[in-house]
Structure formats: C-alpha cells, structure tokens
Amino acid sequence: MASKILVADRLSQPGLEIFAKAPAVELIYQPDLTEEQLLEAVVDVDALVVRSGTHLTAEVFARAEKLRVVGRAGIGTENIDLAAANRKGLVVMNTPFGSAITSAEHTIAMLMALARNIPQASQSIRQGEWKKDQFQGVEISGKTLGVVGAGKIGRLVIERALGLRMRILVYDPFLSTEAVQQMGAEQVDLEELQRQTDFLTLHIPLNGETNNLVDAQFLSQLKPGCRVINCAQGGLVDETALAEAILSGHIAGAALDVFSKEPPPADLPLLQMEQVICSPHLRAASTDAQVNIAVQIAQQVVDFIQHGIIVNALNVPSISAELLSEIRPYIELSERMGHFIEQYCASGLETVSIEYSGGIVDYPTEPVTAAFLKGLLLPMLGDDVNYINAALLADERGIKITEARSKTADEFASMIRVRVTGSTGEHSICGALFGTADYRLVRIDDYPVEAVPAGHLLVLRNQDQPGVIGGVGQVLAEAGINIAMMNLSRRKVDGKAISLIGLDSTVPEQALAALANIEGVLSATLVTLPEVE
C-alpha cells in the first residue's frame, strides 16, 4: 500500500516532482486548507509537509492516526506544536541550510536600502516628485556594523559586510575571541557594541532571554544616529520603544523584515514613519532558496518513509528508528546536560570533553554527543541547530570536542561525564541512567548530587559555613518560591560546597542577586530545563 504524503502549503515544483516520482508514495497536494479541512485531511496520512502558513496543533496531531513524520520546508517551527509531536512520537524535520544565503543577502539588501533611503525615494518619484535633497543617505564603507549573534546567517552577513569595507563588531558570548577574529571581526561585550555601532543587525533566536531584547533601555544605550535592522525574529525588538526612539531622533531609522505580530496591524506606529523600511518576512523568499528548500524536504521525507532514514530532525538524531528506541534515554539525558551546561557555565567555551562509561558504550555514541551539542547550542542559535549540524556549528564557533569511552564504570552502570573549559574556568557535570529510562544528574563539578534534569534548578557554590542554607531559605521564602528538593554536597568540613535546589517556580532577578549576596555564597545560578514528558 502506498504511503500518503500530504503537502499542506505551496511548494516549488521540483520538490513536488520528487514526491510524485517516488515509488509507493501517493502525493496529496492541498495547499491553503482551512483548519477544518486540515483536520479531515490528516486522518490517514503517513507524512505531512508544511511551510510557515499551516499551524500544526495538538488537535491536528491527535487526528493524524497514521502520521509518522512532519517535514517543515524552512527553518522556523513556530507553527508546529513540538511538545505534542514529541508526545506522539513523531519525527519533525526541517531544512536548516536551504535559505541561509538568501537570508543573509536580504539583511545586506535591507542595510543598503536603509542607508540610502531607496524605498522612500522610489515611492516619492512614483508620486511625481523629485526631491533629491530629502533622501540624502549615508555611506556604508567605513561604518561600524554591530552583529548580535554570529551563527550561520550572522556569519554570512559578516562575510558580505567585510566586502563592503565595514568594520564588524560581534556580541556573541558563546563564541571564543579566536573564532570571531577568524571571521575578520572583533568580539566585544554588549555595552561596547552599543556605544560604537552605526548599524545594528540581529541574528539570534527568540526565547525567554531575548524576547524584547532591544527595548527602551537597550535603544537608549545605542550610539546616537544608529540604524536598527531585524531580519531574524519578530519579538526581538520592542516595537513601541523603537518607534519612540526614532521619533526622538536618537535612532536614525530601522529596517524590519519581521514583526511581533504578522502581518502587523495597519496602525503600528513604525509603519507610519518615513525613517522605517519594511518587507513582509521576505528573508527566505528567493526563487533559489525556495527550490533548495522544496527539494531538500521532499528528499528527506521520502528517505524516511521508504528507508527509515532520519535527516535534519529537530527532535531526534539521524539514526535508524530501531536504534533510536534503544538509546533514546541516553539521548534525552545528554541533551538536557547540554542545556544545563549552556546556562551554568557556557560563556566563551573553548573545549568540551565527553566521557562515556559502562553499558552505554555498547551503542554508537555519536548520536548522544550530537544530542549534547544540540542542547548546548540550541538556546544560542535557535532553529539553526539540529542533531546533524551541531558538531559543525560547534567547530565553527571554535569549540574543540573530544570523546572517550570506557567499558568499566566506577559507580554507575552507565554514565556520561562532560568537562568544559571557557571564560569561567573548568566545570564538569555527570549524568547516569537508572534502569532503562530513569536518568539523573549525579555530579556537578565533581560534587555528588542527585536530581532529575528538569524544571527550575538553583545551583549554589558556597563556603561550607553556618548560616548559608538558612539565608537561602529566607530569600526564597520572601520571594514566594517553594523548595521542592535540596542536595547539599561538600568534600570536606569548612571547605567549599555545592547546593542543588529544585524549585517550583523561577527566581526573579532581584531574588537571584540577593542569593548571590548572602555571606558565604560564591555564586548563584538558575538553570531552567523542560519538564520530562
């Protein structure tokens, strides 16, 4: 019986031809379905391919009884309920490389159009006007471009801006200074970038830490006359604050391809300003990119349906489905350890050493390493990173990865130990498997702990002295935060200790600062991980 593949958004013809020619595959091409029509269409399909226009909710997945794989033609997955897909055991793939060049080129195009007022001048001349003096612009050559986030697309923007003879400053705390220098740029802190930047461009994912990153305070610290470009994610820029900063004259203008709400409301103040140029989320909208994306996703979905091959998956590594079921607990543990390290001590990472011991070495460990790197890089790079390209992206960022394997396990039947070095020194974390599916953190910086890597975890480094724990409890109580679990670990009396505290809710910045100021506390770090499904 043929496998049914539903393509629910418009896809370039070369991609459709791959589906049409594949043996034992029935292509159902139905773009522009309504929500009700989609719920009916997915009932008996084996694969579902979408772009950004179709929203795949938990209800859609519940109705799709035979569905095994979702293909996202593009990078972003804001329109896909990944948690619901994971619960159903679906493989979700995207195409992370197909539109990188097009996205970078669109950023440069927006930069140049902004510098020379090209859209405004074009509109003026169409209205029968000839106002040369009104649209006087600025040169790009010799100006400073501030790049926030130097991942795949950010790196391509840097390469092209160097060709325009721009000076490049990079703020990316997860990149080593050497890696930035190899790009031909200069690594600086965020405050220094703000002081010197003539053009600011964003290339970071949207998450809890970056939402409204460019707010009123951020804008006030930018160099007067700076121009802001956002072709990355809507929500990175506080649109109200940006409009006010332009109106005051502090910011000279902005070029926006993305908005917090798309399409943006017609009365959005930014849309009424001559200093602002806009495009309707066109960063990947080139003929070349759309063909590349369509061909890639079609081949990936066909390979999965016919041979069980997983490529560019967001939620599983590229291995056979049979092996995946056996090593999934190791993969989940490793990815959570990567996410933990990213929040605990990932600033300026230089080396990552992963040691496998015990029963885990009976399996290939490459997917487990890829899962760790994905967990480590995902908060930095967002949808640009997956299980396939994580090692490459780590290498591009100057992070040296080494692996070691030992059949002998000292304390646990299977254990993963990770040691990292970076600007905060050397740190380590260990995770172990208990039984077939239960995994926990068992070491932090070689101090014994035990906790499921999920939820809100407060890591305290402190002197082993009276009063510390009481002070911590008081601060958390005053902030209305309940302690769910507490691990206290030390190596010797009156030495240093680590406390790992599980909390029922997050810790506000003010409370976190109060914890760090308790006498005897050396550092207080909040790590937030997804709950275990």
* Residues with catalytic function: 262, 281
- Angle formed at CA 115 by CA 111 and CA 117, multiple of 5 degrees: 110
- Angle formed at CA 103 by CA 98 and CA 107, multiple of 5 degrees: 170
Distances in whole angstroms, Cα of residue 12 to Cα of each of 106, 212, 310:
20, 34, 22
- Listed as own residue / partner, the contacts of 165-173 with beta carbons closer than 8 Å and 24 or more positions apart are 165/140, 165/141, 166/140, 166/141, 166/142, 166/199, 167/142, 167/143, 168/144, 169/144, 169/145, 169/193, 169/196, 169/197, 170/146, 171/146, 171/147, 172/147, 172/148, 172/380, 173/347, 173/348
DSSP label at residue 399 = -
Report the distance separating Cα 241 and Cα 247, nearest Å.
Answer: 10
Strand 438-444 and strand 425-434: pairing? antiparallel
Judged by DSSP in three states, 279 sits in: coil
Query: Residues 110, 111, 112, 116: is their CA dihedral positive or negative?
Result: positive
- State the alpha helices, DSSP H only, in 349-407: 366-381, 390-396
Distances in whole angstroms, Cα of residue 398 to Cα of each of 131, 172, 420:
50, 12, 13
Report yes or no: 130 and 182 within 8 Å, Cβ to Cβ: no
Q: How many residues does the chain have?
A: 533
Report the distance separating Cα 2 and Cα 204, nearest Å.
Answer: 41
Beta strands in 14-134 (DSSP E): 25-29, 47-50, 69-72, 91-93
Query: Residues 5, 293, 285, 99: is their CA dihedral positive or negative?
Result: positive
Report the distance separating Cα 437 and Cα 515, nearest Å.
Answer: 34
Distances in whole angstroms, Cα of residue 125 to Cα of each of 253, 255, 346, 370, 440:
21, 21, 52, 54, 66
- Angle formed at CA 425 by CA 528 and CA 347, multiple of 5 degrees: 45
Distances in whole angstroms, Cα of residue 269 to Cα of each of 119, 216, 224, 231, 339:
18, 15, 21, 19, 38
